[in-house]
Structure 1
Amino acid sequence: MHHLVTAAVAFLAAFAALLAVLAVCRYLEPVDRGRRRRLEQRLAPIVFLFDHARLADATEPGRRLLARLPGTDLESLLGWLGPRLPNAAATLAALPDRGTVEAEGDRLHLRAEDLGEGMMRLTLSDSLAEGTGVVVDALSQNALEEEVELLRQAVDGAPLLCWREDGAGGIAWANAAYLAEAETRLPGHPAWPVPRLFDLPPDLAALEGGQRQSLGDGAAQRWFMCHARADAEGGGRLVFALPADEAVHAERSLREFVQTLAKTFADLPIGLAVFDRGRNLQLFNPALIDLTGLPTTFLAARPSLYALLDRLREARMVPEPKDYRSWQRQMSTLEAAAASGHHVETWSLPGGRTYRVTGRPHPDGALAFLFEDITSEMSMTRRFRAQLSVGTQVVDTLDEALAVFGSDGQMLLGNEAWRRVWDDDVLPLPERLRAIGGAGGGGPGAQRLAELLAPGAAREGANGAMAATDGTLLAWRILPLPGGQWMLGFTPNPARVQPAAMAGEALRRSTG
C-alpha cells in the first residue's frame, strides 16, 4: 500500500511539472515570435522593384537603405552603388537585351531581372556573408548605426568641401557641402557620377602643404585651400577643401597696399630700407639706389642689414672708421638705438657729402632706415653761420651800443659797445628801464625813452638824448623791426655838459 501511495505522488508531481513547462512556453511564445520576426526582417534580402526609374516596392532592409539616400528613385540608388559596384550602370543598361544580369563587387552582389512592361527587380546581397545577411547583436548594430549617422551628420554639416577619390581618380563619395557647390556651379548635371570641381595633381606630395584653388570668376569666384590624405582602402585619397576667401582678400588688400606704398616711396627723394625681424631687407625705393650707389640686383636679393652696411662701407658711403671692430660696434649701436626708438645720426662721408640716417622701429620687430642727403642743407647752414658770424663781428666794431629785443621784452642780442655801456646785458626790460631812468637822472630824454619802452606802448621810431652815469651825453634811438621786435641804440658823446644845459639839450633832441 505504501508503494502505491508513493507512485501516485510521483506521478502527480511529474504531471504538475509538465503543466508548468507548457504554461511557461505558451507565455513566452509571443516574445519569441516577435524576436523571430525582427530577426527575419534583418536577414531578409535587399530587394527593390522599380517601374522604369520609379520605386514601386522594396523589402524592409531596402527601404532602410533608401531612407539614407537623397531620393528613392533609381538614379539615387545608382549613385550609392557607383563607388561599391563601378559597373552597375553598365550592367543595368544590358538588362533589356539579356533579361537577367549580375554584377559583382568587393562585397556586394547585384542581380537584376527584367519583369516586362518596364518593371525591374534588383536584389542586393553581401557576397562575404553566409546566407542573406550577417547576424549581429542588436545593441551592437544599433550602436554602429547611431555612430554612422552621427558621423554622416558631422561631415555633411562641416563648413568645408570633402570628397573621396578612388584609385582611378573618380569621385566615389562627397559630402553635402560639395554636392551643394556642384549643384550651384553645374546646374542640371546628374547627381551621378559626381562631377569634379577641382583640378588637383595626382601626387599627394604636391598637396602636402595645401594648394590654393578657385571656383568660378568675377563676383561668384570662391577660393579654397585643398589638402589630401591617403585612403588605405582602394588606393584612393580623401580631399578637403577649406574656404580661403577671407585669406585671399586679405592678401590681395595687403598686396595692393604695399604696391601703393611702393609707388609713393618711389617718388620720395629720401632713401628707404625696411628690414624684417630677421634683419633681412624687405622693401626699398629707387632713391636708396641713387643715394648709396648699390646695385639693384644686390638689393633685390634681400641682403641682411649687416651685409648692406658692409657694402656701404666698401663703397665709402659710411663715416670712415678707425678700424673694422670699432665700425662694427658703431653699427651695432645704430641698430640697437633704432630698434628701441627713434634714432637719428648724421654721417659725414669722405667725399664731402652729408647724410642724415634715421632709424625707426616697426611692429613685429621690423626696422626702417631713412637715408637723406642733407649736403645742401648743411652747406646752407654753414654759409648762414658764416654770414651771421661776419655780421656779428661787423656790429661789434660799431661805436653805437645796439641791442635787439623781442616782442616779449627779452633782449635777444647786443653788440660789444652795448656791453661796454651796460655792464649787465641780461637784465629784463623793466630792470633795464629803471637802470636807464636812474642813469638819466629823470631828465626829459630819459622820461621820453621810458614812455616808449613801457609795456604795451607803441614803439614807433624815435630818438633823443639822455645823460649817462659818468655825465656824458648819450644819444638814443628806437627802430621797429619785423615780427614785433625792435632795436635800441645808444651813441655816447664824450662832451660833458652842465645839468641845466644837458637837460635843455635832451629836451630839444627829444622834442625836435
Structure 2
Amino acid sequence: MEIAPTALALIGLLLAAWTAGAAWLVLRANTRARSAETGKKLSRRLSRMLEESPAVPLLVRTDGRIEAPDRLARWLGLAQMPSYLSELSASPDRGLTEDQVEEMTAMVRRTQKTAAPFYTAMKPVGSKRSLAFKGGLANPEVSPSGAALIWVFDFTASEEELIKLRKDAARARDDFAALVGLIEAAPSPMWFRGSDAKLRLVNGAYVAAVGANSADAVVSEQIELVEQVDGLSASEVAQQAAERRVPIERIVNATINGERRSLRVTDLPLIGEGIAGYAVDIEEMEEQARQFRAFRNAQRQMLDQLSIGVAQFNSERRLTFANQPFHRVFSLPPGVVNERTDFERVLMAARENGRIPEVRDFPVWRKELSRWFLAGETQEEAWPLPDGTHLRIVAQPMPDGGLVFIAEDRTEQLALSATRDTLLRTRTATFDNLFEALAVFAPDGDLEIWNRSFAGAWGLEETALDGHPDAEELLALIGPKLADPSRASAIGNTIRAATLDRKKRDGRVMLSDGRTLEYAGVPLPDGNGLLTVLDVTAAHHAEEALRERNRALEEADAVMNRFLANMSYEFRTPLTSIGGFAELLSSGVAGELPDQAREYADAIRESVTRLIEQVETVLNLSQSEAGLLPISKEPIDLLPFVTQIVRSREQAIVDAELTLDLRGDKKLTVNADPQQLRRAITHLLENAITATPPEGKLLIDLKRRGKATHITISDNGPGMEAEQLSRALGGLRMSEDGSGLERRKGLGIPIAREMIEAHDGTLEIVSRKGEGTTATITLP
C-alpha cells in the first residue's frame, strides 16, 4: 500500500513536533534536575550552617509538638529529641526539670497567643551547660499555623566568664570598700589630690592631725598638713611628683595635736589622674636614732676609759671605732679610724710594728683571721708577741656582719699568776711546817686543806684525813681520843661558828693521853673557816703553877694593903709624940733648958718634921703604886693656888738667890685634889730650886689648850742627861721579886708623877745638859 506524500509530510511534521517536544521535555527535565541539585546543595549548606551556628532552632506547634535538630538533644543530654514539649522532662536525670518545662510551656503559649517574645536561661539536669532560650512567633512561611520559634543558645563559656566577672567585680567592690575602710582607719594621715593638686579626699587621721571638724571641711578649705618648706607648699611638691611621674619622699616637721613631730611625707603619682599622699610619724624613730647616737657616743667614751683595747669593724670589714688602748696595744698610726682602714690593713700595720705573733705564712694566717666575720660564735686566741707581751684576743661576730675585736694585755696578769703560784707553794710549805696544827673547812663542813701536824695533834693516823671528811666524820674520829667524848660537840660548834656564823670562837680540851689542846675557829675572807690547834700541855702546867704563885701574891698584896693602911698610924703617932715632947721641952714646960739642950730640942723638932714629910712621901708613893691613893677632887682657882705654893717656898727661893716669874690667867680653874696637887707642884718646884744655881731664873706658866690645862715649871739650871733623867724618874719602886722596895735617887719627881696620873693627867719632863729642865703637868 502506497502512502500519500501528504501523509508523509504530516508524519514528518508530527515526528518533528514530537522530537521538538521531547527535546523540550528533556531540556526542562535537565533544568529541573539542575534546580533540584542546587536546592539539595543549598539545603545541605543551610543544614550545615545550622549545625555550626551558636543557636539551635526549636519549633513548637500549637498542639505541643516540637521540631529541633539532634544537636539540641545532645545539649539537653537526651538520646534524641522527643515529639512533644512536655516530654523534655521525661527523664529525672536528664533534660529539663518539670518546673522548667512548665515555665517554658507557659511562655510558649503566651507567645502563641500574643506574639510577645520571651527570653530565659536554664541549666539542664546533670549538665554543666547553660542554655539561653529566646522565643517568638514563627513566620507564616515557616509555620502558618501560629507555631512558636525558639532559638536556643549555648552560653556556658559566656556564663562562666560572666560569673567570674561578677565575682571579680564583687571582690573589687569588697576590696575597694576594705581599702577605703583601711585608709579611713589608718593611724597615719592619708590624702588624695586631683590633677590640679588640690585635696579631694582625706582620712580621719588627717582630719585629726590638722584639728579640723570633718573631712569635708578640710577639702573645702584646703587645709594642708605640711607647712611650706624652702618656699614650696605641699600642693606644689605634689604637682612636681605628678609632672615627673616619680614619687617624692621627704622628712619634714609638722604640728600635730599641738606637738611638733617629724613626718616622712610621700607624694605618689597614680596611673590615672591624681596624686596620693601619706605621712608616717617618725618622731619616735628619730628619737630612738638620737638616743642610739647618744648611746653609741657614750659607749665609745666609756670604751675609751677601759684599759682593754676594743675596736669595731662594720660589715664591709672596715674599722669604724678603736679606743686609745687598742691604738697603744697595736701601735697603730693616728687616722686609721677616719680613713676606714680595712681589717687586713690593720693587721698589716700591727705586723710592721711587731704587735702580732710570729707566723710562718702571714697571708694565710691573715686570711684565717678574716673568717672571724663569718663565724657563728665568739673566737678567742692567745697571742705571744716577740717582745714578751701576752695578748688575749676575743673576736665577737655581730648580727649585722661586723666584728668586735678585743685585745687584753695579760702580761702583768700572767706575771701575777706566776707570782701567785709561787706564793701558793710558799704558803703550802709554810702551812705544813708551822708548829700549830691547822685545818680549813668549807661552809658545808667539808675538810678542804690541813697541814701535817693536824692529824698528829688529835692522835689520828695521817691516812684518816685523805678522804677529806666533813666535820661530823672528823668529830666521830676525834671523840674517842678525848678525855670527855662529849666535848667533841664544842669543837663542832667552833667550826660551825667560823664557817657559817662568821664568828671567832676558841676553847680547850683534854685528850685521853693527858695532853691539853687549845683550839680556835677563825672565819676566813673567802667564806671558809680556819681551825687552829695548839698543844698547850706544858703551858697548862706552867699556868697552874702561875695560878698558885698568883694566889700567894694576892695574899702578899693583901698583907701589904693592910700594912699601908696601918702605916700612917704606926709611923705618925710616935713621930707626933716625939715632936710634941720636943716642943714641950723647948717651951720650958719641964723647966728652963740650957742653950745647947734647946738647940738639941729644935734639931729634934726639925728632924721630926722632915721625917714626917718623908713618911708621907713614901706612904703616898706606896699607896699610888698599890692603887690606894685617896683622891678627892674639887674646883680650884689655879693662879691663886699656885701663888700660895710659891709663897710657901719664897724664903728658899730668896736664899738660893733665884728669880721666879709666875704667869697665868686669873680665871683658869681645874678640878683636882688640892692636897695632892699641892704636893706634886711643890716637889717639882723644890727640884727646880735645888737644881738651879744662884742668879738663876724660874718660870711657872699656867695655860689652857683646848680642853686640857697645862702647868709648866722650867729653870735654866745645868740640866740632866738622858741617863740622869731616867734615874730621877725611877725614884722608889717595888723590887723585881716583890719582896721589898728599891730606893732610887730622889722621890720628888716619882711622887709628883704618881699624883698627877692619879688625876688622869700626865707629867712630861724635858731636860738638856747645859740648857735646863722643863716639867709640864697636863690635867683634863
For the aligned pair, the TM-score class normalised by the smaller chain equals 0.3 to 0.5
Q: Which has the larger radius of gyration?
A: 2
What TM-score do the two structures reach when normalised by structure 2?
0.33
**Larger relative CO (CA 8 A, sep 6+): 1 or 2?**
1
